[in-house]
């Protein structure tokens, strides 16, 4: 069974990134995007930017770990889905940084500048919003597939990511 599991460091990074990404997606859409760009928003933006940066670093760590600890065998479409999840996370971090630089949000959050009236006038904001929606859809598919394996096929797939005991 152990050969079918991901290595422990990969499991740890998977769940850390999953928790942070879900937090950023939900608070980004339900809180950040709804708040007017007043001084009250700065604290929320600071947390969002810092955690977004942490996610980008963790994805880089995950890519390094993947070289050291290869994943257990998986079908090609499954692997492609995992690559797409990582690419969308990197696109979110990249477009977020571009947006923060272009709009002056970095200066506002970390050096006491003013926020722009609305982020939607900046191109990277559109990319960020679209990538967030695409990631939500893909994560939903990913979770449904995992639950399908667990509940319907009962093949112990979740054990590969450290949940439960697995089958083989
Ligand atoms: C934002 C949330 C999530 C993201 C971005 C994500 C991303 C990934 C990625 C990139 C992999 C490939 C392995 C790796 O490199 O770590 C993976 C594998 C996996 N994930 Fe997630 N995941 C998320 C949430 C979840 C949740 C909530 C579950 C469980 C319900 C789950 C179950 C699994 C399982 C079982 C695998 C192993 C699949 C295999 O056998 O290859 N993931 N995930
Ligand atoms: C990598 C993980 C990240 C995720 C999952 C994420 C997610 C989100 C989401 C869901 C929104 C709201 C989008 C909408 O409703 O259309 C948002 C907005 C935003 N994000 Fe991110 N983000 C990430 C990284 C970053 C980074 C690294 C920065 C900057 C350094 C950043 C800066 C922003 C800004 C400035 C907004 C605009 C808020 C507004 O429109 O009022 N994000 N993000």
Residue-wise pLDDT tens digits, 100-120 = 999 999 999 999 889 999 999
Output b/e per residue, 3-32; b: 16+ Cβ within 10 A: eebbbeebbebbeebeebbeebbeebeeee
Residue 116 lies in a domain: yes
Question: Mean pLDDT throughout 83-98?
Answer: 98
Pocket test for ligand 2, best of 29, 30, 47, 48 (most atoms within 8 A of CB): 48
| pLDDT value of position 4 | 82
Q: Are 126 and 91 in contact (CB under 8 A)?
A: no
Output b/e per residue, 41-71; b: 16+ Cβ within 10 A: bbeebeebbeebeebbebbebbeebbeeeee
Q: Give, using CA atoms, the residue closest to atom 28 of ligand 2.
A: 96
Q: How far is CA 14 from CA 44, 55, 91, 129, 155, in A?
A: 24, 11, 18, 23, 20
Residue 17 lies in a domain: yes
Residue 166 lies in a domain: no
Q: Are 119 and 103 in contact (CB under 8 A)?
A: yes
168, pLDDT greater than 70: no
d(CA 42, CA 22): 21
Does residue 100's CB lie within 6 angstroms of at least one atom of ligand 2?
A: yes
Ligand 2 midpoint to CA 41 (Å): 13
Number of separate domains in the chain: 1
Q: Which two tokens stand for residue 78?
A: 């499954």
| pLDDT value of position 3 | 53
Q: The domain containing residue 29 runs over which residues?
A: 2-161
Percent of the chain with pLDDT over 90: 90
Residue 167 lies in a domain: no
């Amino acid at each position: 069974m152990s050969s079918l599991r991901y290595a422990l460091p990969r499991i740890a990074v998977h769940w850390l990134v999953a928790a942070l990404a879900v937090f950023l997606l939900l608070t980004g859409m339900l809180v950040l995007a709804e708040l007017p760009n007043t001084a009250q928003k700065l604290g929320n933006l600071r947390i969002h930017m810092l955690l977004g940066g942490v996610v980008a670093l963790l994805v880089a760590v995950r890519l390094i770990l993947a070289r050291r600890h290869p994943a257990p065998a998986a079908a090609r479409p499954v692997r492609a889905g995992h690559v797409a999840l990582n690419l969308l996370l990197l696109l979110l971090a990249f477009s977020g940084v571009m947006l923060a630089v272009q709009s002056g949000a970095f200066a506002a959050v970390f050096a006491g500048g003013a926020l722009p009236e609305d982020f939607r006038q900046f191109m990277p904001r559109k990319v960020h919003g679209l990538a967030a929606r695409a990631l939500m859809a893909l994560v939903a598919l990913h979770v449904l597939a995992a639950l399908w394996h667990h509940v319907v096929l009962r093949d112990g797939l979740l054990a590969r990511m450290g949940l439960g005991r697995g089958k083989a």
